[in-house]
Structure 1
Amino acid sequence: MIQGFRKLFQSPLGLALTLGFVALIALAFASADITGSGFGGIAGSERVATVGDQKITTSQLRTTVGSAFEQARENNPTATMEDFLEAGAIDNLLDQMIERYALYDFGLSKGMRIGDSLIGSELTQMAAFQGPDGKFSQDLYNQAIQRRGLSDQMVREDIGQGLVSRMLLVPTTYGDKAPLNVARRYAGLLNETRHGGVALIPSPAFIDQEPVDDAVLKKYLADNRDTYMLPERRTIRLATFGAEVLGDAARPTEAEIAERYKANASQYAAREEREFEQLIVPTEAAANALKGQIASPSQLRAVAEKQGLETNTVTATSRQQLASTSTPQVAAAVYDAASGSIVGPVRGPLGFYLIRIGKVTPVAARGIDAVRGEIAEAIGQEKTRSLMADRASQIEDRLQSGASLADVAKSLNAKVTTTPPLTEDGSVFGEGEVDPSEARLAQTVFAMQPGGDAQIAASMDGQRYVIFEPGEVTRAAPPPFDDIKDVLTRNYKLEQGSEKAKAAADKVMAAIKGGKTLSEALAALDVRTPPVDSIDLSRRQLMAQRQQRGIAPPLALMFTMAPKTAKRLEAPNGLGWFIVSLDSIDVPELADDDPIIAQTQAELSRLRQQELIDQLRVAIAKEVPVTRNDNAIAAVRTQLAPQRN
């Protein structure tokens, strides 16, 4: 798992953090909310690094590491933060952040400045904030940054950093192209065709049919103990409970319903839903110029499209809702105008808005009787969560005081059950089936001492709790000799046959070196072998095979050999030995208009351009002074995985 994380940090993620927009938070928009509730012990504004005149705070580092971890968990749900940090997450991600800030500081020192209008233009093109119609949605944008504890300023500052990085690095590649002659040479390799043969000398052909003495098999088992080791297995004794233990305690009272209705009176008051079409441009002058071209409100979209711009349609559920997701000025403009009219320009969060008012739908006030059901349901859910958490806390105290699983389950009227023997990954031993909920418990139980005290945890759906403890433990050990004697016999004979097959392969290699063909050398053996597979394959065909089903090891070996040579290769699982013989190589000339030349030139050009970008990026990073705060970095590490210390 740790090796997998290390490969992640060597992937193009680093380049994405350099050139991509919203490097600090982009991962957060594609994953769960990981901002947390604070830093407990250090301020979120404390510096982990100073890069030129820029600073990287503890909160920025923690958010970036947490976001990257959540993305990694999409591919490996069983990943833990401890493994992620062990693989070097903090150091690698901080290095990437420092490099990005170095580019930004360098750009500012050379006079680069990014205007608000350019940032707004880039923001409207980000896919994360586009609605079903493919256009920018102010509501989606506001909801996304609010859910993750971000601000509009944070997003805009990060987009500005990305633009500076792009302006510095991308021009490096303008006009660079791989030479045509170099591309032709590389493309010619794809046209190369190799001629030869592959033969298999199978181990089973050399197996002795005589019985094997038990003493020999027992020694073989002792020598290969790890191969036949059965994993440790543990059962889990558990009991679950949910809201049924609360009885009527979570049922909302009339007083609670009335109080909630009063507290949210504005939510149930009479209101208007308004649909409007908006056009956003960077400057007020541009908005006024466009407005001057509109003869009637219905022409807003046509005028925008004529200028290569787009409008988008928004539905506001109330004046208050629109003011909170946009600005009070935009809300006032929308709700003070008549249906069918056009208003603006008005200043909004992304620029200047021209707005055409569409359908206006009055929504009558809802009395307490009309909303009693939904209020009661909301209060009931809140009380259930709170009371269940309290009950779980009480049970945890009882368990820590020595109460047994059986006693606690009895007080809850819950049934104690026992799982089948599980391996550490949660799979049922001998079956391989994995129950996700039991897999999570198994990881905890395998970390507990046998006979350890019971623990309590929330279920995966968050609706119930489970009390659990280790059950029967079966230590890792080989199975009884008699149970696997047949397997040992087969594997032992196959191993002996493989040694004899290897000796036969050496004879074939010597015969080929002496001038015989592969077929002639095989015919001289005392055993019958499968016929030789003749190979006539181009490198282009080999690449196509790799994309479809992978490359067989003998073929991969053949394309590394010199003509008139032969090599030996062990077959998987000890099943024999391959003899790979390469007779000749043909390299036909490519036609001047062969499309593979242009394709190869484009790929080589891309690699050259990336190399130029990397060289400039590294050179700039070396020019900007960097100071790290090791204490703050260590504090972030501790907060992300306290159990490591």
Structure 2
Amino acid sequence: MAGERGKKKTNILVWIVLGLLILALGGFGATGFGRSVSTVATVGDREITAQQYFDALRNEQARLQEQTGQTIPMQQMALFGIDRQVMERLLAGTALAAEADRIGLSAGDAQVARRIRETPAFGGIDGTFDRDYYARALQNAGLDEARYEQTVREDVAREILQAAVVGGVAVPDAYADRMAAWIAETRDVTLATVTVPDLPGGPTAPSEIDLTAFYDANPELFETPERRTITYAWVTPDMIAAGIEVDEGALRDLYEERATEFRQPARVLAERLAFADMEAAEAARAAIEAGETTFDALVTDRGLTLDDVDQGEVARSDVDDAVADALFALDQPGIAGPVETPLGPALYRVNAILDPTEVPFDDVRDDLAIEFSADAARRRIDAGRDGIDDLLAGGATLEELAGETDMEVATFDWDPTGTAEAVGIAAYQEFREVARAAEEGDFPELASLSDGGLFAVRLDGVTPPTVPPFEEVRGAVETAWQTDTLRRRLTERAEELARDPSADIAVTPEVLTGIARDAVLENTPPALIDRIFEAEPGEVLAVEGDDTRAYVVRLDAINAADLTAGDGARLRDAVVERTRGELVGDLFESYGQAIQGDLGFTVDSQAVQGVQAQLGGAG
């Protein structure tokens, strides 16, 4: 574990370099889709390769994951139409590159060189362009300089073309003023809340006639969902793990295999600052010891941050012998070096010294036994898969499987709407998908569960949605009647007060000022804000709530915003920027589609599906 942490910074740097390269190339074969040269689409005489499409999909998948914090599988991307959006971007970019060629638009060598020098991934230790970093980064990404520089040249040419097409787009002042004014307007209101104690007589008890009439008028409120009677046979690692015999020798072998988790060598928390030569490094150390500067100041003077020089936890095995000798010669935090490193002479600052640690076998024996049993159970289930398949192919019933294998069988009525709490096998997404698609008469087929288990289902019958007899749902009917009646009576009471503010209703009004369109008023429905912004000054409105309250609101004032300074001015600028972005996007999309129409384009749907299947398997 210490070794992994010691390499943490190096790994992060490698992935940053590769990530920036992939983004800079817009999907230029850097992720290894089998190095395929197959074509998924063409625009004119230009091709979009399977590799480009694969990389573009994966980049979009990574962007969505960063944005949402969740892994978005290929199937879900396709469901949302993201795959089509990615293809449309590739088609548009290829069309623009072709158009740039057609009109003789090209980026000069100086522009290409400047773009490459400005790419952060090619910066050396001091952040400036480093020719060796550049060569190594391209080599690690599987690219040669000529191909990469040609790609950069095409990217710059496309950007020049884009700027020429949309450079004159402007947002009319009148539109920006009106839109910003509409967004920034606020309202002052007087609000009164009508609650159940304000109703004459309070809640009322329903008669039997009331309940039956409500039941007859609202049958959908009491309808039970479809029920599917499912018989299933299943086995999971947890179901058989307890019966797995645990071998003590195997547990000790497992402990030794994972020794890095339980034994950590001595480590230091260190930072490294490299210098151009040993003389400079020695001078820096002398200045620190003389109190003329500090390690922090040296880092800042180089234009770096402490994160840039942080090495994390470093064990002796993570570094060269000379570096290790310098670091572990210290008996307390301090400066080590200078010492030669792959980046040149460097000073290290050791911030903490961590003693070696070891977790004894006996302390983790029970945890290892659980893992051993679970793994053995998974392997036992997997080994029995073919036998179970053969039994099903031979006509064995699910009940017979339970008698001849580790599987258990059960029958239950399943609610496919998901309104009931999912427990047992119903908690598995794999089961729900199979059970929802099953049809009466289907032969059971073996399927896998996410934890390594197996299952098969048989649909015994389907009970359609039904409305139970009144007596079976009488309690639910009374509850729903009371809710509906209270909501209606509260709204009527609020309407009475809105018509006649002097009515004998003891409510205390509240004055609210500066209400914005996106405001959220506590304990009020969203419709209240909408009604406030629809009202005219002085107008009094009744607004429905729920079965506990309704509202009476009077609009007292409409407040215009000052768009010339402060938040108002910033809002207007944001409106202009957003609107221009939308106009630019629409114009450029239309331009790209026109070019595609002139050049002609094709999309190989079979090749596209193959790439998507590959990404689905990779994910």
Is TM (by shorter chain) over 0.5? yes
CA 1:100–1:333: 2 relative to 1, 3 Å: farther
Gaps of 5+ in 1: 1-19, 29-34, 126-137, 262-272, 281-286, 323-330, 347-352, 360-372, 509-516
Q: Is the 8 A contact 1:198 1:579 kept in 2?
A: yes
* 1:121 has 2:113 as partner: no
CA 1:417–1:491: 2 relative to 1, 3 Å: closer
1:407 Cα deviation after fit: 2.8
1:448 Cα deviation after fit: 1.1
Letter in 1 for 2:438: M
* Alignment counterpart, residue 423 of structure 1, candidates 409, 415, 429: 415
* 1:109 has 2:101 as partner: no
The superposition leaves residues 130-151 of structure 1 with CA deviations (integer Å, 9 ceiling, x where unpaired) of xxxxxxxx9xx99xx99xxx94
* Alignment counterpart, residue 482 of structure 1, candidates 471, 480, 486: 471
TM-score (norm 1): 0.56
Choose 380-389 or 624-633, whichever is displaced more: 380-389
The superposition leaves residues 333-376 of structure 1 with CA deviations (integer Å, 9 ceiling, x where unpaired) of 999x99967658x8xxxxxx4354989xxxxxxxxxxxxx9xxx
1:247 Cα deviation after fit: 7.5
Percent of aligned positions with the same letter in both sequences? Answer: 15
Q: Is the 8 A contact 2:271 2:310 kept in 1?
A: yes
* Alignment counterpart, residue 406 of structure 1, candidates 361, 383, 399: 399
* Alignment counterpart, residue 301 of structure 2, candidates 275, 285, 306: 306
1:484-499 alignment, distance < 5 Å: 484-488=473-477, 491=480
* 1:445 has 2:435 as partner: yes
- CA–CA distance in 2 between the matches of 1:314 and 1:188? 52
- CA–CA distance in 1 between the matches of 2:529 and 2:186? 14
User: 1:240 maps to which residue?
Assistant: 235
- CA–CA distance in 1 between the matches of 2:506 and 2:153? 64
- CA–CA distance in 1 between the matches of 2:24 and 2:460? 44
1:18-417 alignment, distance < 5 Å: 44-50=36-42, 55-62=47-54, 64-65=56-57, 71=64, 84-99=77-92, 109-111=106-108, 112-113=111-112, 116-121=116-121, 151=141, 153=143, 186=180, 190=184, 192-196=186-190, 210-212=207-209, 216=213, 219-220=216-217, 224-234=218-228, 235=230, 237-242=232-237, 293-295=280-282, 305-309=300-304, 310-311=308-309, 313=311, 353-354=343-344, 356=346, 388-417=381-410
The superposition leaves residues 30-69 of structure 1 with CA deviations (integer Å, 9 ceiling, x where unpaired) of xxxxx9x979xxx943222346886433344345546756
User: 1:554 maps to which residue?
Assistant: 528
1:559 Cα deviation after fit: 1.7
The superposition leaves residues 261-303 of structure 1 with CA deviations (integer Å, 9 ceiling, x where unpaired) of 9xxxxxxxxxxx99998779xxxxxx96x77854569699876
- CA–CA distance in 2 between the matches of 1:198 and 1:44? 69
1:402 Cα deviation after fit: 1.8
The superposition leaves residues 398-437 of structure 1 with CA deviations (integer Å, 9 ceiling, x where unpaired) of 2233222333333334544556x4422656x3x5768774
- CA–CA distance in 2 between the matches of 1:401 and 1:448? 20
CA 1:554–1:183: 2 relative to 1, 3 Å: same
Q: Is the 8 A contact 1:199 1:578 kept in 2?
A: yes
The superposition leaves residues 535-566 of structure 1 with CA deviations (integer Å, 9 ceiling, x where unpaired) of 533344664536x7786422331122222445
- CA–CA distance in 2 between the matches of 1:228 and 1:163? 61
CA 1:385–1:441: 2 relative to 1, 3 Å: closer
1:475 Cα deviation after fit: 3.6
User: 1:537 maps to which residue?
Assistant: 512
- CA–CA distance in 2 between the matches of 1:415 and 1:500? 55
1:465 Cα deviation after fit: 3.7
2:385 counterpart SS class:
helix
1:444 Cα deviation after fit: 1.8
- CA–CA distance in 1 between the matches of 2:207 and 2:537? 43
Q: Is the 8 A contact 1:570 1:578 kept in 2?
A: yes
2:395 counterpart SS class:
coil
The superposition leaves residues 574-614 of structure 1 with CA deviations (integer Å, 9 ceiling, x where unpaired) of x89766543x4253886987x43454355345435645763
Letter in 2 for 1:49: A
Aligned residues: 516
1:594-609 alignment, distance < 5 Å: 595-601=566-572, 603-604=574-575, 606-607=577-578
The superposition leaves residues 155-187 of structure 1 with CA deviations (integer Å, 9 ceiling, x where unpaired) of 99699699859976899999x999899779947
Q: Is the 8 A contact 2:106 2:154 kept in 1?
A: no
CA 1:208–1:414: 2 relative to 1, 3 Å: closer
CA 1:187–1:251: 2 relative to 1, 3 Å: same
1:601-640 alignment, distance < 5 Å: 601=572, 603-604=574-575, 606-607=577-578, 610-611=581-582, 614=585, 617-618=588-589, 621=592, 625=596, 627-632=601-606, 635-636=609-610, 639=613
CA 1:568–1:540: 2 relative to 1, 3 Å: closer
Please, what is the CA RMSD of the aligned residues? 6.7
Q: Is the 8 A contact 1:250 1:384 kept in 2?
A: no
- CA–CA distance in 1 between the matches of 2:543 and 2:417? 35
Choose 473-482 or 162-171, whichever is displaced more: 162-171
- CA–CA distance in 1 between the matches of 2:66 and 2:301? 46
- CA–CA distance in 1 between the matches of 2:489 and 2:524? 30
Q: Is the 8 A contact 1:275 1:357 kept in 2?
A: no
CA 1:568–1:52: 2 relative to 1, 3 Å: farther
1:545 counterpart SS class:
coil
- CA–CA distance in 2 between the matches of 1:117 and 1:295? 31
